[in-house]
Amino acid sequence: MTGKTSVLDVQGLVKHYSVGRGLFGSGRRRLHAVDGVSFAIAPGETLGLVGESGCGKSTVGKAVLRLVEPTAGRIVLEGEDITSLSRSALIAKRRKMQVIFQDPYSSLNPRMTAGEIVQEPLINFGIGTRAEQQERVAALFARVGLRPDQRNNYPHEFSGGQRQRLGIARALALGPSVVIADEPVSALDVSVQAQVINLLMDLQEEYGLSYLFIAHDLGVVEHISHRVAVMYLGKIVETAPRDMLFAEPRHPYTEALLAAVPVSHPRMRRRRVVLKGDVPSPINPPSGCRFHTRCPIAVARCREEEPALLGDSSGHSVACHLRTPAN
């Protein structure tokens, strides 16, 4: 997928952090949070980004939004490279790319009413008169399933699911093209998660939104995503259309993730995949394939040579010497 057909095109994204000095006061070390991630999202599409905690998926979202500055790479939004835009020039692009945070309470200002929270982006960008802004806020409340009279309530007066609906209304206020949803339902009760996911899907269809949906829950990702990208230790190791990835995973790490997902039918069994060892430190990632220290099929080449992410005509790509697209 190229930038011409993509609403968001991320190329070779890198984010390193300088951390404390090494042993005996040697030079500062680098934490490799994100190391060369590339993906594209089409209009109206949801790309699910999954992986274990600490793999770098949330850092990808923050770097794409430029809430943290990328170390390298390009971020192209609706055909325009926003990677090096100044802070003042970037402000105008903020309308097109919004975020839904993981914690629906800490992301809301406790001193503002719900109506003020949703109205604030409209005020900041000078959109409409106060009366038009109030009308827009009321319409957004209704659309996300909140009552108009709740506009005068404060965040602590809402349940967790209602607070996330409030966060969704705020994200929609400016009419974005892309929404970065960073673990948007992981803090919610299971009974509420499905309601919020269905709301996001309805809003996508209605407004033509594109989502980068970051999560560790594969069941949620399978429900909402059109395509899925799997991350391990700062790198994408597999991407595929949703149904293809869940039916025919190629990377050993993806197989292990799917093997850990509970099945709904008592007679169904998954092939168990047990990974040995712990996730290596991103300060000192392994040479070659970063997964080789835990991989059940690794060979000598995996320890020495980093595999490229190679794809086939079906859109299925994998970074594995032993599981190439032809295999």
- Taking only the tens place, the pLDDT of each residue in 260-279 is 776 655 555 556 666 777 88
pLDDT of residue 260: 75
pLDDT at 21 over 70: no
Report the DSSP pairing between strands 227-232 and 210-215: unpaired
> Which amino acid makes up residue 295?
C
- Taking only the tens place, the pLDDT of each residue in 127-155 is 999 999 999 999 999 999 999 899 999 99
- Taking only the tens place, the pLDDT of each residue in 197-232 is 999 999 999 999 999 999 988 989 999 999 999 999
Look up the pTM and report it.
Answer: 0.91
* Domain spans in the chain, listed from the N-terminal domain onward: 242-327
Residue 327 CA to residue 324 CA, distance in Å, equals: 5
